[in-house]
Amino acid sequence: MTITGKIDVKEQDILGALRKFFEDVLNLEDIKAILVPQHLPMKNMVMPTLVTDPNQLNGIDPLAPAFPMNAAKIVSRLTRKPMGAKIVAVLRPCEIRAFFELVKLKQARPDEVVLIGIDCLGTYQNKDYFRFVEKNENDSTVKFYQNVLSAKGAKIDDVDLSPACKACEYPVALNADILIGLYGITENDYLMVQSQTATGENFLAQINPPKIDEPASRQDAVAAVVEKRIAYRDDMFVKTHEATDNLEKMTAYLASCVNCYNCRVACPVCYCKECVFSTDVFNHDPSQYLKWASRKGIIKMPTDTVFYHITRLAHMSTACVGCGQCSNACPNDIPVMELFRTIAQRTQEAFDYEAGRSIEEDPPMSVFREEEFAEVVGIDK
């Protein structure tokens, strides 16, 4: 049975209310730690922290429009082998979907983690978040939260959401054990909390929040956000396709790539321990560069940049969750996310698959289906 309750917010202190809720979670007998975003004391940035002491939750800020990394990578590290204890992970919807992909890729285990998902209002890119916080140091998160939910929008001053968030059609973590709802909550004195799995129901029953009915306005509010984001996403697909629909255009699109591989490192589902592009395969002999240059008269350095991205697309398009960390990590502002999401959308549609939709759903090409793509392989019934 689904449990729907509320987290009381006193004096509009939403972060204080969340802190009290997470303290209650951490005080449960079965829970040994909680992974939750917090402000770092040494710099005004929000990063994942693993907390075992409830008194160390003073800096929690899971609503901050900061997204320095996809924390699915952290949950993967924590769960890939048995810990002997249960932890809670507070994640954005795209982080939960990335975690599900990593579970299916045998890079993580779901047995010892309880997932708490919070409605995602979107985030700024790293450089933009720093500028936003600098201008709104004392109330940055509250200002962002109130602006978004009061329909003023996420753009504050000259800082706007990242393209990945504008194009994300999954603002609600429908696959979390416990969901904390923000959209459609018209009152300022509570947040909605809801169990979505048997595990979530068990833990929420222990916390025993005051019971409520899901607000009637919630589904309409979520639908309006999704509709707007899908419109942005589809326009992005058209523009990206037009900008990359042949090799010449693709080369121009990726012209400023310097083979730093930051996008590969930042990607939550790019999991190979040793990437082929870090091996001697692409450590060409010096004479080879001269041969290539002599053949054409000129070559762009470093080489293999387009091939690198095409290889990643071939590897990752079925698992891409569109979190945008690839673009966030690019030093030269290449719109990597737009390219990967455009290709991933087509790849995943071809397999009738959505990355992170279900932990039970087999990844494409991991199982044999006799009747799949009959028109391609030439099977005639």
Are 153 and 224 in a shared domain? Answer: yes
Res 373: pLDDT:
66
Do 287 and 186 belong to one domain? no
d(CA 319, CA 268): 10
Radius of gyration in angstroms for the set of CA atoms belonging to the chain, rounded to a whole number: 22
H/E element, 126: helix 126-135
279 lies in some domain = yes
- Residue 183 has a pLDDT of 94
Specify the number of domains making up the chain: 2
237 domain-assigned: no
Q: Strands 190-195 and 4-8, how do they pair?
A: antiparallel
Q: Same structural domain for residues 181 and 209? A: yes
Does this model's pTM top 0.85?
yes
Residue 379, in any domain of the structure: no
Which segments of the chain have a pLDDT < 50?
Answer: none
pLDDT of residue 187: 76
- How high is the pLDDT of residue 188? 80
Is the domain of 127 the same as that of 252? no
Per-residue b or e along 247-277, where b marks 16 or more CB atoms closer than 10 Å to that residue's CB:
eeebeebbeebeeebbbbebbbbbbeeebeb
Closest residue by Cα to residue 95 from 23, 178, 176: 176
How far CA 379 is from CA of 136, 202, 257, 366, in Å, comes to 62, 49, 42, 20
- What pLDDT is recorded for position 115? 98
Tell me, yes or no, whether 331 lies in a domain: yes
Instruction: Please give the pLDDT value at position 11.
Output: 87
Q: Write down which residue in 172, 203, 230 finishes a domain.
A: 230
What residues are paired with 47 via a beta bridge?
38
| DSSP state letter for 189 | S
User: Does residue 314 form part of some domain?
Assistant: yes
Same domain? For 208 and 269 the reply is no
Residue span of the structural domain in which 325 resides: 246-372
> Do 222 and 144 share a structural domain?
yes
Average pLDDT in the chain: 92
Instruction: Indicate whether 269 and 153 sit together in one domain.
Output: no
At residue 56, the pLDDT reads 94
Shared domain check, 346 and 283: yes
pLDDT score recorded for residue 192: 96
Q: Is residue 106 part of a domain?
A: yes
Where does a domain end: 230, 256, 287?
A: 230
Residue tagged 């979520």 (tokens): 222
